Amino acid sequence: MSMTAVKDRAPTPAPKKDRTHYLYAAVVVAMIAGIAVGIIWPDFGVQLKWLGTAFVNLIKMMISPIIFCTIVLGIGSVRKAAAVGRIGGLALGYFLTMSTVALAIGLLVGNLIHPGSGLHLTKELAATGHQQVSSEGSGTVDFILGLVPDTLVSALTSGSVLQALLVALLVGFALQKLGPAGEPILVGIKHCERLVFRLMQMIMYAAPIGAFGAMAAVVGATGWKALQGLAVVMIAFYLTCFIFVFGVLGTILWVVARVNVFSLLRYLGREFLLILSTSSSESALPRLIAKMEHLGVSRPVVGITVPTGYSFNLDGTAIYLTMGSLFIADALDKPFSLGQQISLLVFMVIASKGAAGVTGAGLATLAGGLQSHRPDLVEGVGLVVGIDRMMSEARALTNFAGNSIATVLVGHWTHNLDRTQLEAVLSGAAPFDESMLEGEPDARETAPPPKEELVPVG
């Protein structure tokens, strides 16, 4: 009997190991080793720049495919969100506005503190023998003609980020016009996106090597000034995210919905700890959906706002992209002009969509923005390889906080927020039942909201 019971019992699959923690540790060790080499053997450290350059070239290789897939699928999600009427349209308008505000705040802080100034890396990096991309200016006509690729496919192989962006927008809107007939193509592009992101994850395993080479070169060239510059940009980034969440979003939440941001984020405390341990806001997506419904936001609003926000409301990523760009420009003594900063902001508003929860996608988007506006700065991406992983926690936490606040605001604006339930939950009188998440937590994410539960808005 016991033998039969053992034989009939289904084997329990071993839990899948999360190896990103090992990668994080390896990057930190590589950074420390690179700093040591740069201080002890500065000339040898400068010669190791090619390791960081090779890693950056791998990142550049993935820029066009990532932008194409994320933009096409992003436009597809816009179509789906807009199809549900005012809720989706209001959410998308809010996401676009706040992403632009986050980008602008990142530019403002970067211009105030100039985190990379004083490093003066241009001569040292040129001495490594790395050939920089030409940055000769061109006229308006040449710029416009340069947006148009020779063929539809060449936009993805020519290395021109703006051409890839143009083709992605055209394909996305064409699929919108096709309607249901375009769904199979969207499914195919979704599979391509999974392949591209899998490749990106594989490339990120070379991040320790790239971080080692980049840190050894920059410390060997400038000494302790490099560490001071990196520390300044990290601290400034964390402070900017804090100010944005509690100063900007918290103020909007209180003025509009009379909800205390500290009470809301305390209610989501477990989710923040989960994100802090995984460095990805995706890990808390099912829990956020369940908790927002328990908070009193109607299921249709939650089902539309939260998943769409995970692709379109990346406030932390937006701040990182602008501050990282300005840091690299200052470090290489090639600052952005005001016009270039504005055009970079517009590009980042579009290109940053879809980068949430994907290892290395933020780094690729940063490289893409520089490649499109200032190709001579792309090699400077190697400067932030080492600290990119350390800033990912702040990006993920800021993205998550922004999406939770957005869900409450959209629920309030569309009259789909139960104020009595919200006050009871935030006061602790109606605690969240953790058993709601047992079994299949992802079902809430994938199941569409029932049409009969839609509450009239307006």
For 325-346, what is each residue's pLDDT tens digit?
A: 888 888 777 888 778 788 877 7
172-187 average pLDDT score: 84
b/e map of 428-444 (b: 16 or more CB within 10 Å)? eebebeeeeeeeeeeeb
The residue behind tokens 């006050």 is 423
pLDDT band at 211 (very low <50, low <70, confident <90, very high): confident
User: Is residue 6 over pLDDT 60?
Assistant: no
414 HSE (CA, 13 A, CB side): 29
d(CA 304, CA 301): 5
Query: Alpha carbon 297 to chain centroid distance?
Result: 26
Residue 297 phi, psi dihedral angles, 5° rounding:
-80, 135
Q: Which residue did the predictor score with more confidence, 109 or 440?
A: 109
What residues does 297 pair with on adjacent strands?
A: 417
pLDDT for res 219: 80
What residues does 417 pair with on adjacent strands?
A: 297
51-61 average pLDDT score: 79
User: Is residue 441 over pLDDT 50?
Assistant: no
Q: Please write the tens of the pLDDT for every residue from 376-420.
A: 777 777 777 667 767 777 888 898 999 999 999 999 998 888 999
**Sequence letter at residue 19:** R
Confidence (pTM): 0.66
pLDDT above 90 coverage of the chain, percent: 10
d(CA 31, CA 24): 11
The answer to whether 66 and 350 are in contact (CB under 8 A) is no
Question: Minimal CA–CA distance to 63: which of 206, 165, 131?
Answer: 165
The rounded mean pLDDT for the chain is 75
User: Is residue 253 over pLDDT 80?
Assistant: yes
User: Is residue 113 over pLDDT 90?
Assistant: no
pLDDT for res 451: 42
What are the boundaries of each domain within the chain? 20-450
Burial of 24 (0-12, 13-18, 19+ CB in 10 A): middle
Question: Minimal CA–CA distance to 389: which of 256, 211, 181, 199?
Answer: 211
User: Is residue 454 over pLDDT 70?
Assistant: no
pLDDT above 70 coverage of the chain, percent: 74
250-270 average pLDDT score: 92
Question: Minimal CA–CA distance to 182: which of 79, 85, 64?
Answer: 79
pLDDT for res 65: 84
d(CA 38, CA 225): 12
Q: What is the dihedral of CA 351, 355, 445, 201, to 10 degrees?
A: 140
d(CA 80, CA 351): 19
Angstrom distances, CA of residue 407 to CA of 307, 344, 399, 413: 10, 28, 12, 10
pLDDT for res 449: 43
79-101 average pLDDT score: 74
CATH class of 20-450: mainly alpha
